[in-house]
Structure 1
């Protein structure tokens, strides 16, 4: 594929800034799309620690053969699970995602979107506190789509200021020429964030600094005015240049970079750390432990555990010491995907599975392995509504009617995403030889054999006793799958005047030999940084720590509880297919949709939209609300997915209430509710009549002083999927 360039003409394209002059020009004439930027949607001040979910189940581990398994967060047993504890989010570790994908600004940068429906999307917003858009341009401005979708999910979105090489030295010589100059630069950066309504900056200085004391003054001033002008912003310092002005990555927090940490809201450590680095950094951070973001490189370059599908190994270390995490380049699941046989990044057993579905398997596997060590943030703002669209589709619909018959992609049209969907349905993770052996012997097609295998994963003795040949063992080191040339980096005019350990971070480029081996689904070298003056330097690789590389296989017949469904939608380009069971697991699943924190002051109105699939016309979907009453007692409200006459509706008990659709009865109750919505919450209203077989149901919940802690799903029958196209909640107040 030809390298794609960023448009420099269109007012509807989000672009970075490559010079100080472009920064000033931007402020003199902001882009037209700046008026489309949205404010942050408030979320609960409490959150859930994922380690405390599913307490009735043992948490997954990596057994002696290092075969990875993933815990199910997507379904649970309501008879054994109590409400998960809530924690003050100000006192818990945070997760920063640093999105670096082929130097940025691809389909996501176009305000009106593109026709590439399989372009990269990020949807695990519930676990993220800060989203950083990263590139190697001087000033990386987050595109409109990321600002809006991040804010819709309550996530702070920040840009990047990065300087490198000799150009970086020259830039800072200019910016630090005087106090007046650096103050103007800081003010300009604050103004950009204010105009576009994003939340701060990552400051990444990867070059020598001639005036380090003045640089520290700049950071202090930048931090002060950022907090004066923006509501709850963040300024993050990247672990690179030291207080002496030398470029020596510390791989942690210590006295050499502590002054910069003290001057801003957090530090993002370099990736070549050891557990000892994390331990000492945690001690150094003291009562600011959650402002210490341990760098987690998903690509795994000179990195603890090797990253990729073993990223969990490093995440566990950060979690162990109570640190926050900065997860770098999780779009690895998209960029590095291969279609080549025996490649570590190929998904095995994917006959008949299209390439986009293969990416989704890789992405779910990556996030599923680290999900237990993250937190889940809780939506609380009413009205709340979502059609579950991910900002892409084969067609675009409104209330089921096709408005656009062609594939499309526009992240800013992503709807609110479920926050508890991870479970090891449909994939299996192990070392490549083991995956190949299981595929060859069709073990992944045998539900009983696979169930037995997964049962053994958490039993070390059982795993040790398994009759596996040597070539099927999982303790295969990373070197078995890489050549020496894969540790060669391209380094432009590298300054080796310091004797410190040098990790080149994103200056790493895969060698030509590695490129020849890798066959990627997409053109991942778009906008890559190229230079004719590069010289070759060999990386100094630290002693590897459990650098096992894992591979992934598709498991035929296994269905995720909530499946992205692109063949139909109610509004947007997709909906959810609710799978109550599958060929591998016949149990009738009780499926989580949202952990949440919605308050019912007087009454709530709920809207549920479903559609039956052709082979399952009798299937219904019940929405089960787990609630707390005024005395903090458990209460369950079931929004029944079928209509009954008033006379046939059951009487509620003290702990359970069955509610039937108000628009399913013949009385005047629905007309009154309909009038209220149209007058007071018109954007919440969804027409009841539908010519495309979508069933729209409204419910009225009259339980003042209660709050909803989770929203869950259960079908009437244990077999047969059903589509969920829309869910919404809004308050109904008597004084309106």
Structure 2
């Protein structure tokens, strides 16, 4: 073997040992515990967050949040009332679990040293969730160290998955439950895995027949007991699958058939094929443990209330209204659908695939955010450069360390927790978007003027007529209709016979988020001109061809991504017939479902056929001239792979915004030291950024400290009873002695917090000292000095200075 081949083999072996992997058998579990991976020490411990949280639903500006009129959390009126905070030790509030299932897991995220790409999936809405579950179809799914670490940085519990399926699962559980010593050994092993890898518990998902259900219940009780003995505040969650008789029979809720498993665990995760009545009955059954029930929310929308995808909010409203917690399954749909070619997007050329993902992801989570709670950081020191664990380059203090793309979630830093707002996109019905697009006749974008945007967002969504199974069969019988007739646009909205001579080309981003279920789609008898008609304008040909492509892709996407995908509603909602092998192995169980689909996304035998779900075809449109308040910026950074571009206004929203960076709960015993790093953009060289600290003094009165971006004066003196608005100016050459004292204090007491003042790459580093004893910092907000022109925010940090600390 040549030296080159030997080197390559060594590299492959090295990277193989630096890859997080699942465990497939009991033997692999024993091997793992005998020789745990050396990189387990990279897993970070959970950072506690405040016991106070904010209910986002109370922020609402409207009676009921709607997809077409989403809430604005990112900027606000400074004179508005501050949000109410709830003490979770006094009042139990619903929680949110994200179950991350993406193509069976373990992709770029499993590499300890990361990969050389920047567009792999990342999750950044940590402030809105409480538990992150890493899911796959492997027996023991251990969360990769990257997810455990970044989740813990944001105060989120991270859990793995124990899953068994089909005949192999039955055989495996027969061995585990063969004796008390056997199930105790298995329970101790999975607890040891969680303790070794520093994650916080398990989702227990048994999707096969159990021969000894009484022994299974004993095992679960024992696992729960030792899990709570060995770990700090862990969670064990049961997935709605096996009943107390040992049969695989999804209940789509909590009832007498699965209540015993709920009583033995910390939480219960329902199957997805539920109805409104299922949720209501579940809430009643749970009683005072209602917030321990997580209603399954399938973002892909397979046999699911509302159809999922961009209409996922419809199902979330039902669960939220019942007082239950949420289990959001596979939100990486926003990323996976694009990269597998089923995105159904017509995008402007400037948007690459990752930008399309960001647009989709913001739209999805912006629609869900009103129904979540915001958790608050409280541990000092606190600092972030806003990196998301990926980038086209890598910077340190503004200097390029690596010129190529990279991805490593372990290096994601703390993310803003109130950044959602309806900037840059519109969600609406397909018909409404087409109407506005047609009226505008604008080649540069779907919507150009504020009045059109306001009109669109204020329009009530037109629901699609609900159909029953017979209607679905009729639709299927008409499936041979010509392609030019398949476009689903209401004749009353767009009358093609009255078209102008010149029809605009559709250049806006339009994504159809239709559900898999074909009964949710209208099929009006609107006939369109043939695409090869000589009387048709060329612009209209493109218009028709693009729309036809949307629906063709949508159909193909449904078939590729849903294991229930069919060409008719009746086929989709009927479980597939079991194979002969399955029939032979499981014929003794009358309750065993006749399905061949995989576990968590499988159709239940308790399917809610013909249930009215109010599905609506939603579309996503880009608004090119509208900018998010806090925009991800990948072309420059202070530390890591990205920073934030603060946009004080845009052409559609010209008002000067006060932008919220963080809700928080930082206690100041004596003095805060704050570090802020910004960089101007060439065409707006005079722009500066002021940071507003919204605080409460020792008496509970409001105190607003403005950290000025320019050194125009001396900072005001503060006491523990200061109120109103006071200004703090950065420490500079006129206060050089004071700055030296601050630097010396940080280097001796908080060495990881200090950032050098000098910078050769255009970044301005400034420090502020705020002396407000016995105060509490509740919000960190920002506002530019000029109403136009963005500025880069590269770093924000805050720590405490204790006056009695020795600085010599």
> So what's the TM-score if we normalise by structure 2?
0.81
Q: CA deviation at 1:456?
A: 2.5
The residue number in structure 1 matching 2:636 is 568
Quote the Cα distance in structure 1 between the aligned partners of 2:167 and 2:13: 27
Cα deviations by residue, 1:298-348 (Å, 9 ceiling, x for unpaired): 0111111010000000000111011001000000011112797xx7x4344
The residue number in structure 1 matching 2:670 is 602
The residue number in structure 1 matching 2:761 is 692
Residues 357-436 of structure 1: pairs in structure 2 closer than 5 A: 357-436=355-434
Cα deviations by residue, 1:257-313 (Å, 9 ceiling, x for unpaired): 000000010100000001111111111111111100000000111111010000000
The residue number in structure 2 matching 1:37 is 43
The residue number in structure 2 matching 1:447 is 449
Q: Which of 350, 363, 367 pairs up with 2:348?
A: 350
Give the direction of change, closer, same or farther, for the CA distance of 1:114–1:83 in structure 2 (3 Å limit): same
Quote the Cα distance in structure 1 between the aligned partners of 2:242 and 2:461: 46
The residue number in structure 1 matching 2:683 is 615
Quote the Cα distance in structure 2 between the aligned partners of 1:59 and 1:18: 50
Q: Confirm or deny that 1:470 pairs with 2:492.
A: yes
Quote the Cα distance in structure 1 between the aligned partners of 2:381 and 2:775: 16
Q: Which of 688, 691, 704 pairs up with 1:636?
A: 704
The residue number in structure 2 matching 1:254 is 255
The question of whether the paired residues in 2 share the 8 Å contact of 1:249 and 1:500 is answered with no
Quote the Cα distance in structure 1 between the aligned partners of 2:436 and 2:647: 26
Q: CA deviation at 1:436?
A: 4.0
The residue number in structure 2 matching 1:514 is none
The residue number in structure 2 matching 1:513 is none
Q: CA deviation at 1:32?
A: 1.1
Q: CA deviation at 1:656?
A: 1.1
Aligned-pair Cα RMSD in Å: 2.6
Cα deviations by residue, 1:164-193 (Å, 9 ceiling, x for unpaired): 011001000010100000000000000000
Q: Per the alignment, in what secondary structure is the counterpart of residue 34 of structure 1?
A: helix
Q: Confirm or deny that 1:98 pairs with 2:99.
A: yes
Q: CA deviation at 1:444?
A: 2.5
Give the direction of change, closer, same or farther, for the CA distance of 1:322–1:133 in structure 2 (3 Å limit): same
Q: CA deviation at 1:664?
A: 5.1
Residues 316-335 of structure 1: pairs in structure 2 closer than 5 A: 316-335=317-336
Quote the Cα distance in structure 2 between the aligned partners of 1:60 and 1:717: 34
Quote the Cα distance in structure 2 between the aligned partners of 1:608 and 1:75: 20
Unaligned runs of 5+ in 1: 1-5, 461-466, 511-536
The residue number in structure 2 matching 1:78 is 78
Quote the Cα distance in structure 1 between the aligned partners of 2:287 and 2:14: 46
Quote the Cα distance in structure 1 between the aligned partners of 2:283 and 2:596: 24
Q: Per the alignment, in what secondary structure is the counterpart of residue 626 of structure 2?
A: coil
The residue number in structure 1 matching 2:228 is 227
Q: Confirm or deny that 1:15 pairs with 2:83.
A: no
Quote the Cα distance in structure 2 between the aligned partners of 1:626 and 1:381: 17
Quote the Cα distance in structure 2 between the aligned partners of 1:457 and 1:633: 41
The residue number in structure 2 matching 1:721 is 790
Quote the Cα distance in structure 2 between the aligned partners of 1:327 and 1:507: 16
Quote the Cα distance in structure 2 between the aligned partners of 1:334 and 1:165: 30
Quote the Cα distance in structure 1 between the aligned partners of 2:344 and 2:13: 33
Count of equivalent residues: 688
Q: Confirm or deny that 1:58 pairs with 2:62.
A: yes
Residues 293-304 of structure 1: pairs in structure 2 closer than 5 A: 293-304=294-305
Q: Per the alignment, in what secondary structure is the counterpart of residue 683 of structure 1?
A: coil
Q: CA deviation at 1:363?
A: 0.3
The question of whether the paired residues in 1 share the 8 Å contact of 2:394 and 2:401 is answered with yes
Quote the Cα distance in structure 2 between the aligned partners of 1:588 and 1:501: 58
The residue number in structure 2 matching 1:548 is 616
Q: CA deviation at 1:445?
A: 3.0
- Greater CA deviation, 21-30 or 654-663? 654-663
The question of whether the paired residues in 2 share the 8 Å contact of 1:302 and 1:542 is answered with no
Q: Larger C-alpha radius of gyration, 1 or 2?
A: 2
The residue number in structure 2 matching 1:579 is 647
Quote the Cα distance in structure 2 between the aligned partners of 1:472 and 1:16: 53
Q: CA deviation at 1:556?
A: 1.0
Q: CA deviation at 1:505?
A: 7.0
Residues 701-720 of structure 1: pairs in structure 2 closer than 5 A: 701-720=770-789
Cα deviations by residue, 1:244-266 (Å, 9 ceiling, x for unpaired): 00000000000000000000101
The question of whether the paired residues in 2 share the 8 Å contact of 1:644 and 1:665 is answered with no
Give the direction of change, closer, same or farther, for the CA distance of 1:276–1:92 in structure 2 (3 Å limit): same
Quote the Cα distance in structure 1 between the aligned partners of 2:81 and 2:344: 37
Cα deviations by residue, 1:502-550 (Å, 9 ceiling, x for unpaired): 787755999xxxxxxxxxxxxxxxxxxxxxxxxxx99885424012231
Give the direction of change, closer, same or farther, for the CA distance of 1:197–1:685 in structure 2 (3 Å limit): same
Residues 180-259 of structure 1: pairs in structure 2 closer than 5 A: 180-259=181-260
The question of whether the paired residues in 2 share the 8 Å contact of 1:59 and 1:71 is answered with no
Unaligned runs of 5+ in 2: 1-11, 463-488, 496-511, 523-550, 556-564
Q: Per the alignment, in what secondary structure is the counterpart of residue 413 of structure 1?
A: strand
Quote the Cα distance in structure 1 between the aligned partners of 2:623 and 2:595: 38
Q: Per the alignment, in what secondary structure is the counterpart of residue 684 of structure 2?
A: coil
Q: Per the alignment, in what secondary structure is the counterpart of residue 13 of structure 1?
A: coil
Quote the Cα distance in structure 1 between the aligned partners of 2:454 and 2:234: 49
The question of whether the paired residues in 1 share the 8 Å contact of 2:646 and 2:790 is answered with yes
The question of whether the paired residues in 1 share the 8 Å contact of 2:98 and 2:329 is answered with yes
Q: CA deviation at 1:687?
A: 0.3
Q: Per the alignment, in what secondary structure is the counterpart of residue 97 of structure 2?
A: strand
Q: CA deviation at 1:735?
A: 2.1
Give the direction of change, closer, same or farther, for the CA distance of 1:590–1:397 in structure 2 (3 Å limit): same
Q: CA deviation at 1:8?
A: 9.9
Q: Confirm or deny that 1:669 pairs with 2:738.
A: yes
Give the direction of change, closer, same or farther, for the CA distance of 1:435–1:506 in structure 2 (3 Å limit): farther
Q: CA deviation at 1:666?
A: 3.9
The residue number in structure 2 matching 1:131 is 132
> So what's the TM-score if we normalise by structure 1?
0.89
The question of whether the paired residues in 1 share the 8 Å contact of 2:436 and 2:452 is answered with no
- Greater CA deviation, 100-109 or 45-54? 45-54
Quote the Cα distance in structure 1 between the aligned partners of 2:403 and 2:776: 41
Quote the Cα distance in structure 2 between the aligned partners of 1:378 and 1:472: 48
